[in-house]
Structure 1
């Protein structure tokens, strides 16, 4: 599907970056700005990517789509849906203006993530404007001084700190032939135990969430396997729109109020005793916590079980993303130095040290 505003605007973006390098001017990269609430507040001159948009290539038989960074995520999903295909990682939009570049830069995945993979897993290649003033296609052009890194996938979750993503090629998959959502009456402790058991069995589960009272499951696959799983598990039929509402934080749980934390945990972590209200997602591997508790206190509990915590409300703490160990921060510094030696891209967005 061709849009009248589809245009290759990469030369203009490259020129803006080179001007910023010449003037040593920090840049704040943004598309639809729908994820602006994530990370630290960063200054700098706005580099708006939305003019560089459009589907570059798409052959449904090859299960690969290539799009420019400013392409609306809704437009990409619409093109895929017309061919009965999808982004299996279900990236959230958090607003109608979300772009493909922002999807990659934030690296956020939806309810299907534990069963299908993350955004990073579906990135096949990228084009990126680096802090060396070059527009490179990773996988085609090789930078010997960063050999050993899968640079395309490193862009996922980089929040614009490594460069300007101008184009991305993504693996896509067919939409499931049958989808059914069900709701089961059980408490969270029992739900976590059952989910651990079911993970060892050939059940077509593709999403699992406990909202504090009930366990919600999505079953996907062939008609026979979905029907058989429903017969076995029982439960009431649930409106399938629940998963989009969960993914886009439209459920009542996400109403503004107390600070919101995303807890990323190892599989089969039992229910954690934390102050506030919790919602369990990803079959237990991701939990949302609303609490006024101190960031250091929350992270001390999460670290003990091998997890990490991200704050989804601006201004609550100076480090919304989990602070890194010294050795890991050293890798981040080295990578930043290789790709953005003048540190002009989204300075401090991930961490104050970057």
Structure 2
């Protein structure tokens, strides 16, 4: 494996010497995200494999090119998991791509994001230097936590060759409540109330099903934790929802598990483009923010903190104003089927302010002074 790492180092150094730009790519399952892709592709999948795994220590160290499915299967054999439920968006997703994208699934609001589980990382910077940050234990950082900085960097700071991750045991008990007939305002109020109580609330999703006859609103909540805690919470939360007129049903765990995975992987019906002109927008707002005054149907996750909607690219200013008005931001997550790269001209992400831009530029200068790694995807 050292030979494959040396090949990556040599490729970066050669690009730096020739003035070429490289685009880092694992499985390519998230190529849809960000501004139009540029640069010569450098495939990272050859550097793969689990280096060490200590179930009793809840730590795994794995190479960046390792298939994400392979890592999850190894953890499942020991009754453990990646608690943040990273989306794959395709069968070829890699561990390095998972960290570089920094995307989390339904449980993110309760357990934390990808970066919260990164203990250490090894990367190759734009000068072809082999760098190591952090370690393989829970408390290992003195000073700036560079390893977690790589989470969400989208390949703009370096090649993530190895990463050490904190893993967690699978919860002993789980239950999903489906509450039918509860509107968005009441659903958010309930979630905010439950969030202030000692309940094992792990994930939530609210959606209006416009294909049903008649149209119906649904709130789904997933509970995870000790058996007694989950059983107690099912009774209390069912009563709270019923008091608002909702019909409450405890779903079969196997069926619910498929639905939660479909939610994270965006294969639910909501995520099918309603028309070829609409883009999928992601609004990140404070968790306790009430209903946003927007004319677009929404799918709401993370106890209110993440709100998805379909709207044209021309609605960018309206959506960003609404999100920024409550201290959040809006991202064009998927371009429309017809617009493609043209849609992204409105800007994929909310523009950074002057201070954030300066920090971003300085970080880029330290990691990649010659601009080897393509940064256009993030608009920098």
Q: TM-score, normalised by structure 1?
A: 0.93
Which residue is 1:98 aligned to?
A: 93
RMSD value over aligned CA atoms? 1.4
Measure, in 2, the Cα distance between the counterparts of 1:11 and 1:175: 37
Pick from 231, 254, 274 the counterpart of residue 294 of structure 2. 274
- The counterpart of 1:197, out of the listed 190, 193, 199, is 193
Question: Is the Cα–Cα contact under 8 Å of residues 101 and 151 in structure 2 kept in the other structure?
Answer: yes
Q: Which residue of 2 aligns with 1:3?
A: none
- Does the aligned pair in 2 maintain the 1:7–1:51 contact within 8 Å? no
Equivalent residue runs for 1:12-23 within 5 Å: 12-23=7-18
Residue correspondence of structure 1 range 229-268 to structure 2 within 5 A: 229-234=233-238, 235-238=248-251, 239-240=255-256, 241-256=258-273, 257=275, 258-268=278-288
Q: What residue in structure 2 maps to residue 291 of structure 1? A: 311
Rounded Cα–Cα distance in structure 2 between residues aligned with 1:115 and 1:294:
31
Instruction: Kindly provide the CA deviation profile for residues 310-347 of structure 1, in whole angstroms up to 9, marking residues without a partner as x.
Output: 11123223321221001110000000000000111123
User: 1:342 aligned to 2:370?
Assistant: yes
Partners of 1:23 and 1:178 in 2: how far apart? Answer: 56
Secondary structure, counterpart of 1:211 in structure 2: strand
Q: What does residue 143 of structure 1 align with? A: none
1:126 aligns with 2:121: yes
* Among candidates 303, 318, 329, match of residue 324 of structure 2: 303
- Aligned pair partner of 2:344 in 306, 317, 320: 317
Residue 16 of structure 2 contacts residue 126 of structure 2 at CA under 8 Å; is this kept in 1? yes
Distance 2:226 2:37 in 1: 47
**Number of aligned residues:** 341
Question: Pick from 207, 211, 223: which aligns with 1:211?
Answer: 207
Report the Cα offset of residue 148 of structure 1. Answer: 4.9
Offset at 1:8?
6.3
Unaligned runs of at least 5 residues, structure 2: 136-141, 209-216, 239-247, 336-340
Q: CA deviation at 1:7?
A: 8.0
- Distance in 2 (CA, whole Å) between partners of 1:32 and 1:202 is 40
Query: Could you list the per-position Cα deviations for residues 222-253 of structure 1 after superposition, in whole angstroms to 9, with x for gaps in the alignment?
Result: 11111111122222023322110100001000
Provide the residue aligned with 1:27 in structure 2. Answer: 22
Q: Where do 1:115-194 residues align within 5 Å?
A: 115-139=110-134, 148-185=143-180, 186-194=182-190
| Residue ranges of structure 1 left out of the alignment (5+ in a row) | 1-5, 141-146
Per-residue Cα deviation, 1:76-113 (whole angstroms, up to 9, x for no partner): 10000000001111110000100001100000011111
Quick one: distance in 1 between partners of 2:4 and 2:207?
44
Question: Which of 322, 326, 331 does residue 359 from structure 2 map onto?
Answer: 331
Pick one of 222, 225, 229 that aligns with 2:229.
225
Q: Distance in 1 between matches of 2:37 and 2:28?
A: 13
Matching residue of 2:76 = 81
- Contact kept, 8 Å, 2:12 with 2:127, in 1: the verdict is no
Measure, in 1, the Cα distance between the counterparts of 2:66 and 2:370: 28
- Which structure features the higher share of helix residues? 2
